[in-house]
Chains A and B, each alone.
Chain A
Amino acid sequence: MRFLLIPLLCLTFSLTAAAIGVDKDRLSDPEQEARAQSIMKQLRCLVCQNQSIVESDAGLAVDLRGIVREQVKAGQSDRQILHFMTSRYGDWVLLQPPFKAATLLLWLGPLFLLLIGGYFVFRYVRQKPTTVLTEPLTADEEKRLQQILRENDT
């Protein structure tokens, strides 16, 4: 499904030696490295198509990974690091958009839709019948029905 993006990716990919996103300088503390990884997953590779910087070989992604690791090592909190990134690149760098006026519809839309839809569903299932629904079965049909039901039970 990403097949259309691939040609675009090829243009933006810089084919560096580490073509699979393996960095030489990982943090020695596994806990810190894990935290760095989870932060990286939230950051968009700005020159790629809808990829996080973890999944990209673009030069920018490699650089950003380095910055995240540096800051984690320097003891910055997740919040501070994300803030640093948005002050540099804007909200675009965040794969999960922040909650603010411009994204109000995005975040509250689902809830709003559920409430509206829920109201209609509630009204719908509570409504009273307005028309006679079915004609009663004729005697023949009733007999056949009983016969079918008996067959079903055996």
Chain B
Amino acid sequence: MIAELGHYFTVLALGLAILQAVFPLIGAARQDGRMMIIGRPAAYGQFMFSLAAFIALTYSYIVSDFSVAVVARNSHSLKPLLYKISGVWGNHEGSILLWVMFLALFGAMVAYFGRNLPKTLQARVLAIQAMIGVGFYLFMLLTSNPFDRLATVPFEGNGLNPLLQDPGLAFHPPFLYLGYVGLSVAFSFAIAALIEGRVDPAWARWVRPWTLLAWVFLTIGIVLGSWWAYYELGWGGWWGWDPVENASFMPWLVATALLHSAIVVEKRDTLKSWTVLLAIIAFSFSLLGTFIVRSGIITSVHAFATDPERGMFILMFLALVIGGSFLLFALRADKLQAGGMFAPISRESGLVINNLFLSVAAAVVLYGTLHPLLSDAIFGVKSSVGAPFFNLVFGFLMIPLVMIMGLGVHLKWKRADIKGLLQRLKVITGLSLLAVVMTLYITYGGEIMPAIWMGLGVWLLLSMFQELGSRIKLGQVPLSNSLRRLTRQPRSSWGMSLGHLGFAVGLIGIIATSSWGLEQQKVMRIGDSMAIGDYVLTLDDVVPVAGPNYSAVRGIITVQPKSGPSFVALPESRTYISSPMTTTEGSVKTTMTGDLFIVIGDAQSSGRWGVRVYYKPMQVWLWIGATIMVIGGMISLSDRRYRIGSPQGKKKNAKLTAAKETKGSAAHAV
């Protein structure tokens, strides 16, 4: 009964989405207020019905209703409640329902928070949002209905893969999807702007917070996934350039570019058609990511053939949305007149070059991910594009990007003085060179490239601090005055500073952990020792442990650091009862200087165990940096300009703001 209700709600949501897609669009074209006004209640209703459908499916999981096919396939009555719920989106059908529910949520949010948008713009945005929704509802109802019943009801479900029974991964897909779907708002705004033939700073002011929100969610989602891969998979890796990872990274790169180019539109009324194009590309990557991951096409061309109905629908939908919006862009982009001009050396130029590198980076990831597929399909040649390729090419792309980032934040709008800037950056550049030398000294005999990278990371970090310092006139005015300025910085400035600082911190972590990681492995008997870096490990004992749905062996390992007290690490190797599968629960000892990561394997012959240990220098910096970036994004979102209910800036004020910026005084706010 509940599942049928869920099915019914989905159909109702589809009906409302069709209304929401058709009437406001016609209304906007005819300037008919009564037709346009339909969009808002339709958006609320659509969200309510899709939420009800989602709750219905969740209920079926919680009560373990195995007459529902997806529940039987993916759940188990003995699973903890958290994983019963996370099981809802742990499969194709349920994840599509979650996706479309989020889409409806964002539609309802645009309807609610966008009440003071121009009427035609809001009507069009809602209509386009609903069109995407129609596609998803149809996809779900026609090819992947989560509410399908089974004719013969099994007594027990198949259960969820033990590796996925983890809090980090339980929340990873929802955040990722909030990010993907959040980009739909920027997309809808872009298409609406193309239809209207108008992009102005007010438009950019609207697009930016939505993009930022999506970016924050996307970042959280990616980092959660990366963190899970790090501690759960037990290989000590946090990023493998796996097609599935790449699928989430591409929209992130483009969303980051979009965040920056929208600033130029908002502040300087230029770079409009490029920003619109980025919004379209960002969402196209989201769709591509969602479908490609779920259809399994990346793993093998042949996966498509196993479910041709789904595959054809996906292809047609992608072609329609992406092709259609590019066509519209080609036809209408010339309507978007460029506004303010700027000199080749200016904040604008810096942001344009940032966009160039981020876009090329996204293209590299896209082509690298698709190359094996194309090579197989076109030439019939199997080929691999793996981590070594991406690390190499990405490394080269990142060097100029980091440099432009460190310089760009200091540049003034319209026209900047590069000589003066380089002069002012002398001290930190010197310090960074010192960092290179020190790194070479510490890692004597090692490679040179990591040391150069380290210098670059330090330089970026210092550059961000110097920018903050110059904004509060540190050293130019009395300290108390500077501190007062610091407290008066708008939140969007804090967002920019923290976002970039977080990036620099994370970058330093990435450089250290990927350049100077240590790894040791040994087959050990009880009483054996092995050394790694400054640590000596001794296997004291191995004991059996019984968990709720697994049995495990637990190693008791005493770790003696070169200096300081010893500690005991308890890595486990778990064998799950329901599915014959072994997972490793590594023991991680985290400090600011590095993680000691110990993994134990199954018993080998005659009382011996395989033990693998990693030392990951400054690994935690990566997680801290990512957290700072997310916090920066959130603080920026809470800026007064974006806060709910704040009246739209008057035209006159906007002009004043623009005029102010030409003087370059308030030019640093992001």
- The 9 closest A-B CB pairs, nearest first, are A95-B386, A22-B610, A1-B225, A96-B388, A20-B601, A92-B382, A129-B341, A22-B521, A1-B245
The answer to whether A121 and B353 touch across the interface, beta carbons within 8 angstroms, is yes
Give residues 1-58 of A contacting B (CB, 8 Å). 1-8, 10, 15, 17-24, 26, 37, 41-42, 44, 49-52, 55
27 of the cross-chain contacts (CB-CB < 8 Å) are A1-B172, A1-B226, A1-B242, A2-B229, A3-B90, A3-B163, A3-B173, A6-B161, A19-B573, A20-B234, A20-B600, A44-B384, A44-B386, A51-B240, A92-B382, A94-B384, A95-B384, A96-B392, A106-B367, A109-B367, A113-B363, A114-B357, A128-B341, A141-B655, A141-B656, A148-B656, A148-B660
Contact of B299 among A5, A102, A113 (CB under 8 A): A5
- Please give, as numbers and ranges, the residues of chain A lying within 8 Å of B82 by CB-CB distance: none
Residues of A within 8 A of B275 (CB): none
* Distance, CA A127 to CA B344, complexed state (A): 9
List B contacts of A77 (CB < 8 A): none
In whole angstroms, what is the CA distance A2 to B164 when docked?
10
Contact of A21 among B337, B341, B612 (CB under 8 A): B612
Name the A residues within 8 Å of B241 (CB-CB): 50
Give which listed residue, B226, B299, B342, B605, contacts A125 with CB less than 8 A. Answer: B342
Q: B97 in the interface, Cβ–Cβ < 8 Å? A: no
Known: A3-B90, A124-B352. Is A134-B658 also a contact (CB below 8 A)? yes
A-side interface size class:
35 or more
Whether A114 pairs with B610 at a CB distance below 8 angstroms is no
Q: How far is the CB of B462 from chain A (nearest CB, A)?
A: 26
Which single residue of chain B is at the shortest CB-CB distance from A154?
A: B481
Chain B residues whose C-beta falls within 8 Å of the C-beta of A121 in the assembled complex: 349, 352-353, 356
Tell me which residues across on chain A come within 8 A of B339, comparing CB atoms.
133
The reply to whether A10 and B386 contact each other, CB–CB distance below 8 Å, is no
Q: A1-B222, A92-B384, A133-B339 known; A17 and B582 CB under 8 Å?
A: no
* A 45-75 binary contact with B (CB < 8 Å = 1; else 0): 0000111100100000000000000000000
When the two chains form their complex, are residues A7 and B161 in contact, meaning their CB atoms are under 8 A apart? yes
Q: Which of A17, A42, A96, A102 contacts B381 (CB 8 A)?
A: A102
Establish whether residues B584 and A102, one from each chain, have CB atoms under 8 Å apart when the complex forms: no
B344–A5 CB distance below 8 A:
no
Task: Report A143 CB to chain B, min CB distance, Å.
Answer: 11
Return B254 CB to nearest CB of chain A, in Å: 14
Q: Contacts A95-B387, A110-B396 given; 13 further ones with Cβ under 8 A? A: A1-B229, A1-B242, A18-B523, A18-B610, A20-B584, A49-B242, A50-B243, A55-B235, A95-B388, A97-B383, A109-B367, A110-B364, A124-B352
The answer, yes or no, to whether B340 is at the interface (CB within 8 Å) is yes
Query: B165-178 CB contact bits vs A (8 Å, 1 = yes)?
Result: 00001001100100
B659 touches A22 (CB 8 A): no
Residues of A within 8 A of B (CB): 1-8, 10, 15, 17-24, 26, 37, 41-42, 44, 49-52, 55, 90-97, 102-103, 105-106, 109-110, 113-114, 117-118, 121, 124-131, 133-134, 137, 141, 144-145, 148-149, 152
**In the complex, which residues of chain A have a beta carbon less than 8 angstroms from the beta carbon of B386?**
44, 50, 52, 95-96
| Contact indicator A110/B340 (Cβ below 8 Å) | no
Contacts of A24 in B (CB 8 A): 523, 604
Given A1-B222, A2-B229, A141-B656 in contact, is the A127-B341 Cβ separation under 8 Å?
Answer: yes
* Contacts A106-B385, A149-B665 given; does A23 touch B521 at CB 8 Å: yes
Looking across the interface, which residue of chain B has its beta carbon closest to that of A118?
A: B356
Which chain A residues border B90 with CB–CB below 8 Å? 3
Q: Which residues of B contact A52 (CB under 8 A)?
A: 386-387
CB atoms of B384 and A141 under 8 A apart: no
Tell me whether A20 and B610 are in contact in the complex, defined as CB-CB below 8 angstroms, given that A1-B226, A117-B360 are known contacts: yes
How would residues 328 to 360 of chain B score, 1 for a CB under 8 Å from any chain A CB and 0 otherwise? Answer: 000000000111111110001100110011011
Which residues of the partner chain B approach A18 to less than 8 Å between Cβ atoms?
A: 523, 601-602, 604, 610
Contact A15 B582 (CB under 8 A): yes
Which A residues touch B392, using CB under 8 A? 96
- Distance between B392 CB and nearest chain A CB, rounded to angstroms: 7
By the criterion CB–CB under 8 Å, are B388 and A42 in contact?
yes
**Distance of A9 Cα from B37 Cα, bound (Å):** 51
Asked whether any CB of chain A lies closer than 8 Å to the CB of B588, the reply is no
Q: Does B397 contact A (CB under 8 A)?
A: yes
Known: A110-B393, A126-B344. A20 touches B242 (CB 8 A): no
Specify which chain B residues have a CB less than 8 angstroms from the CB of A126 in the assembled complex.
Answer: 344
Q: Mark B364-387, 1 if CB is under 8 A from A, else 0.
A: 100110010001000101111111
With A105-B367, A121-B352, A126-B344 as known contacts, state yes or no: A4 contacts B296, CB within 8 Å. Answer: yes
A17 close to B605 (CB less than 8 A): yes
Say yes or no: is B389 at the interface (Cβ < 8 Å to chain A): yes
B626 to chain A: closest CB distance in Å?
14
Q: Which of B552-601 contact A (CB under 8 A)?
A: 573, 579-582, 584, 599-601
Interface pair B602/A26, CB less than 8 Å apart: no
Q: How far is the CA of A37 from the CA of B518 in the complex (A)?
A: 12
Contact between chains at A117 and B652 (CB < 8 Å) = no
B residues near A19, Cβ cutoff 8 Å = 573, 582, 584, 601-602, 610
| Per-residue interface assignment for chain B, residues 518 to 545, with 1 indicating a CB less than 8 Å from any chain A CB and 0 otherwise | 0101110000000000000000000000
Distance of A145 Cα from B662 Cα, bound (Å)? 12
Contact B360 A114 (CB under 8 A): yes
Residues in B whose Cβ lies below 8 Å from that of A5? 242, 244, 299
Contacts of B601 in A (CB 8 A): 17-20, 22
Closest to B481 in A: A154
Give A49 to B245 CA distance when docked, in angstroms. 13
Partner pick for B612 among A10, A20, A144, CB 8 A cutoff: A20
Distance in angstroms between the alpha carbons of A5 and B294 in the assembled complex: 11
What is the bound-complex CA distance between A3 and B338, given in angstroms? 45
Q: Whose C-beta in chain A lies nearest to the C-beta of B271? A: A124
- Does B603 touch A at the CB level, under 8 Å? yes
Q: Complex: how many Å from CA A52 to CA B341?
A: 50
Given A44-B386, A91-B383, A134-B658, the answer on whether A114 and B356 have CB atoms closer than 8 Å is yes
Q: Provide the residues of chain B in CB contact with A21, threshold 8 Å.
A: 235, 521, 610, 612
Closest residue on chain B to residue A114 by CB atoms: B360
- The reply to whether B368 and A106 contact each other, CB–CB distance below 8 Å, is yes
| B610 engages A2 (CB within 8 Å) | no
